[in-house]
Amino acid sequence: MVWPSFPPRFSIKLSKPELVPPKTPTPKEKKALSDLDDQASLRYHMPGLWFYENKESMVGVDPAAVIKEGLAKALVFYYPLAGRLFQGPNKKLIVDCNGEGALFLKAEANVALRKLGDFIHSPSPYLSKLQYNVPGSEGITGCPLLLIQVTRFTCGGIALGVRFNHTMADGYGIVLFLKALCELAQGGSTPSVLPVWDRDTLSATANPNPTCSHAVYDAPSFRHNFSLFDFEWWANKIFNVEKLASQSLYFFFPTILKPIMVRTSFILGPKEIQALRDQAVAQDYGRCSTFELIAACLWKCRTIALQPNPNATVRLTFPTDMRQKSLAGLKLSAGYYGNAIVMQSATSTAKLLCDSPITYAIQLIREAKNKVNGDYVKSVIDFMVTRGRPRMSVLRNMLVSDISRIGMEKIDFGWGNAIYAGASIAAYGATFLERPKSSDDSTTEKSILVPISLPHIYMQIFKREFKKMTSSSTP
């Protein structure tokens, strides 16, 4: 865990929210999203926070003015982000490129950035201050697709809050947009990587026909799975969580369960990652990626903590970025900023997962990763169209998304790289692998920060299992 229990308090003076349209006129047209973009699992607004220390050479320069100008210029190239979504037949999302603009806010904090310490890490208790939720802006259709807030601290440090409609872009895509914003804010005439729409590439044909199974979208079964301390059985029985999960934002903001949740972060440094690697080696397993090791560890520790019925089917879900794979017939441009990810799941009974060595989970993850090819992607797309654009299941499932390698911290609009950049949340059923705050310690670059949200007693079990698994090199 990376911080004590009580974060320091501070207040901010917030300007009136305003809409920033593109700097120059842009095409007025309707553009359909891809059939990966508009699935139910992506119909929410994704938050993120970037933190920057004061820079002497920028004294007297207003960061809000710099970013606002860069935003207006970037929206000329990324003009669909200045529009509004509407829903067509078969739940199809379409962008009305009307140039209304993105939401922009300026704020002043009455505290120095250094006072916040490691509380800038996900899950940041300051998200609602540094990324104000403008009333009426959180809808999927008819609302701004992008919200940016620039907060200045008394020391000259800066917080950049960015919230985007996930149906419009994935993590790589929003980083691409923000890099363009930075380039244009600092005098560039065009982005170094021009944006590409090209959503038809990831849309279904006239006669969609899924050819693969996609268990990640199957609702979990709770029949005959009762166990006295099974939190998810009780949560579904009392709150009907799977039904609630169909609401926008629920997957990442479970308001009904929020009062009983503990949200914190864990850091896996080189020693902890090596301990996991040593276990795989001791079990005569081959080379493992850092993602496989961490995802297997989290899946196993979380399943043990939640104490499901031993016969229950549990899943680990994770995205694969098609930009990083060579897939037949699905070559994407470097400027493609839409959702270029497909989800796949590793599946096991709870008993086998909990009782087996870590290599069991690693093997299941690897097998799921290897299923992704051109045919699988086309099948996912066709599945979305023929099955009403479903969402992933929340219960009996853990989503692990690695955003540590997309360059979030390298968003430089004149104040250098961010000292920390992350999703800022800990969500029940989902986590992000992030880089911790930069420091003089060279191990930071090789460390991974993991935000976790669990009910209190289950979090205590998770901590115990996590410590046991990452501090020992024995199987």
Q: Which residue has the higher pLDDT, 80 or 373?
A: 80
Other beta carbons within 10 angstroms of residue 125's beta carbon come to 16
Q: What are the backbone angles phi and psi of residue 30, rounded to the nearest 5°?
A: -110, 130
What is residue 436's DSSP assignment? P
pLDDT at 328: 59
CA distances from 329 to 14, 88, 240 (A): 48, 28, 41
Q: In CATH, which of 3.30.70.20, 1.10.230.10, 3.40.50.300, 3.30.559.10 is domain 215-471?
A: 3.30.559.10
Containing 185, the helix (H) or strand (E) segment is helix 171-185
Is pLDDT of 439 > 90? no
Is pLDDT of 372 > 80? yes
Task: Note whether 265 and 2 are within 8 A (CB).
Answer: yes
Average pLDDT over residues 84-109: 97
Is pLDDT of 269 > 70? yes
Average pLDDT over residues 40-49: 93
Same topology, domains 12-202 and 215-471? Answer is yes
- Residue 286 is encoded by which pair of tokens? 């081959």
Is pLDDT of 206 > 80? yes
Burial-class residue 189 by CB neighbours within 10 Å (0-12, 13-18, 19+): exposed
pLDDT tens-digit profile of 317-356? 999 998 877 675 788 999 999 999 999 999 999 999 999 9
Q: What is the DSSP string of 10-45?
A: --EEEPPPEEE--SS----EEEEPPTTTTSGGG-SE
Average pLDDT over residues 381-408: 93
Average pLDDT over residues 429-453: 86
CA distances from 432 to 268, 375, 447, 470 (A): 13, 27, 13, 18
- Residue 160 is encoded by which pair of tokens? 């950049």
The alpha-helical segments, DSSP class H, found in 25-109 are 63-77
The CA distance from 415 to 265, in Å, is 27
Task: Note whether 290 and 405 are within 8 A (CB).
Answer: no
Is pLDDT of 146 > 70? yes
Domain boundaries, the chain: 12-202, 215-471
Which positions are annotated as active-site residues?
Answer: 166, 412
pLDDT at 472: 64
pLDDT at 239: 79
The whole-angstrom distance between residue 459's C-alpha and the CA centroid of its chain comes to 21
Q: In CATH, which of 3.40.50.300, 3.40.50.150, 3.30.559.10, 3.50.50.60 is domain 12-202?
A: 3.30.559.10
Q: At what angle do helices 270-282 and 456-471 cross, to 10 degrees?
A: 70
